[in-house]
Amino acid sequence: MSLRRFLVPPGALSQDLVELPPAEAAHARQVLRLKTGDEVWLLDGQGLKARAVISRLDKAGATCQVLETRRPARPLPRLVLCPGLLKGPAMELLAVKLSELCVDEVRPYVGPRTVPKLGEATARLERWQRLAAQALKQCGAASPPLFQAPADLPAVLSAAPSAALKIMLYEDERQTTLAQALAAHPGAGEVWGLVGPEGGLAPGEVAAARAAGFMACGLGPVVLRAETASLALAAVVRLGR
Amino acid sequence: MSLRRFLVPPGALSQDLVELPPAEAAHARQVLRLKTGDEVWLLDGQGLKARAVISRLDKAGATCQVLETRRPARPLPRLVLCPGLLKGPAMELLAVKLSELCVDEVRPYVGPRTVPKLGEATARLERWQRLAAQALKQCGAASPPLFQAPADLPAVLSAAPSAALKIMLYEDERQTTLAQALAAHPGAGEVWGLVGPEGGLAPGEVAAARAAGFMACGLGPVVLRAETASLALAAVVRLGR
């Protein structure tokens, strides 16, 4: 069993002795039944991780002594996902799973076919970010995706740098597959992936994305729900080559 | 918007006039607000799909007239996933998502690190199969994965045919990646994928799988939860090449 992981506040790992947040301390003692002397990983959710040993663990809280800190490199390519904004449970599933799959940034967009409204979604941004950080404790990456506030599609499209490989998953595309698009650009240092909401990309959205340099990619015989398409895209970029 | 899809019982598509099951009829009328004359897809969950037109829709039920039936080919390679048995919500997520990703067969196994017991899981087999069939209505594939009753690992390993490409995801494998293993066998007609439970494969399980011809594949810097690893494997096989 690998070492247990705990989230600590940003900046906490600049010190040798780190107090665990109360909920983390209670989890360590009551659920995981850890003891003084046990080694753990501490993650600050901003890219820094530390191997540490529990020096005190009681009802009042937990203190860890840092043994070494590291800032692991993020995997390449840098991966930015732009999903059409989905309803609550689907976005929360994405927050967790895209964190595991080492997505670097998530930029949800709102369009004619998205169901949730912009205002509601902005209020949930903090929740997605928290779920993504909690997922680090499962997967051991050192930082979660950065969730940008939902925006309209033109704003998202124009944020993509010109050098990035830009892909949109589009069910009506019959020529180019995702695998072909990735294979044709093996050295891409940054990949942006646009994925429609339930109901798919509207024709005007496809045209706008093409004009912004996004290449339409089909998924062959497979028709995926919107959140599954985002997960599959991230999995293929991270693990398919 | 593509045509709405409805599940009908096995065998129903052998007739020209098909009665929708009561829950499907109610959904068509009250939620989707379909009308007489609307076209729909009917799926029998066993590989047959039919384009049909609603000929009657009222409080008593719905009848559809079949226009044409098809038996779409399953995508290649045939894909069999063998996940360590997971707790309820994770297995249910797998049932839905592996159906979307056109997995052909799921063979959960029980080992020293799996949490649910064999008896509990067998009782849930019917539920997984039902969730997988419901997912067809979202994704349009014609048949869901066949869920085998959970078994012990030796029984699952020995079921893999000798000609299949056999892969196990193993976090301690540093040499071969999943992408490399798949690229080295581009013509594989059948792929079996073994994925450990939460906590990973036990050393004895890794040895047994190797002895049965399963090739260990690492996931690079990414550490995935068990259910995410199964989804990622299916996504890479279906979409990564």
pLDDT in tens, A97-149: 999 999 999 999 998 888 887 776 667 898 999 999 999 887 778 889 999 99
Q: For residue B138, what pLDDT is reported?
A: 79
Distance, in Å, from the CA atom of A217 to the CA atom of A62, rounded to the nearest integer, reads 50
Chain A within 8 Å of B72 (Cβ-Cβ)? yes
Q: Side-chain half-sphere of B15: how many Cα atoms within 13 Å?
A: 11
Tokens read off for B80 = 């069999």
Q: Where in chain B is the domain with CATH 3.40.1280.10?
A: 78-239
Q: For residue A120, what pLDDT is reported?
A: 67
Which residues in chain B come in under a pLDDT of 50?
A: none
Contacts of A63 (CB under 8 A, 6+ apart): A17, A18, A19, A20, A54, A55, A56, A57
- Tokens 């506030």 -> residue: A149
Query: Hey, how many other C-beta atoms are within 10 angstroms of the C-beta on B149?
Result: 11
User: Nearest Cα to B202, choosing from B170, B228, B161?
Assistant: B170
Q: If you measure CA to CA, which chain B residue comes closest to A177?
A: B239
Chain A within 8 Å of B202 (Cβ-Cβ)? no
Q: Which CATH number fits domain A4-70: 3.30.420.40, 3.40.50.10800, 3.30.590.10, 2.40.240.20?
A: 2.40.240.20
Q: For residue A137, what pLDDT is reported?
A: 85
Q: For residue B74, what pLDDT is reported?
A: 87
Q: Which CATH architecture has domain B78-239?
A: 3-Layer(aba) Sandwich (3.40)
Mean pLDDT of A173-187: 92
Q: What is the ipTM of this complex?
A: 0.89
Q: Which residues of A touch B173 (CB under 8 A)?
A: none
> Does the pLDDT at position A68 exceed 70?
yes
Q: Where in chain A is the domain with CATH 2.40.240.20?
A: 4-70
Chain B within 8 Å of A112 (Cβ-Cβ)? no
Report pTM: 0.90
Q: Which residues of B touch A199 (CB under 8 A)?
A: 1
Q: For residue B222, what pLDDT is reported?
A: 77
Q: For residue B120, what pLDDT is reported?
A: 67
Q: For residue A166, what pLDDT is reported?
A: 98
> Does the pLDDT at position A7 exceed 70?
yes
**Confidence band, pLDDT 50/70/90 cuts, at residue A5:** very high
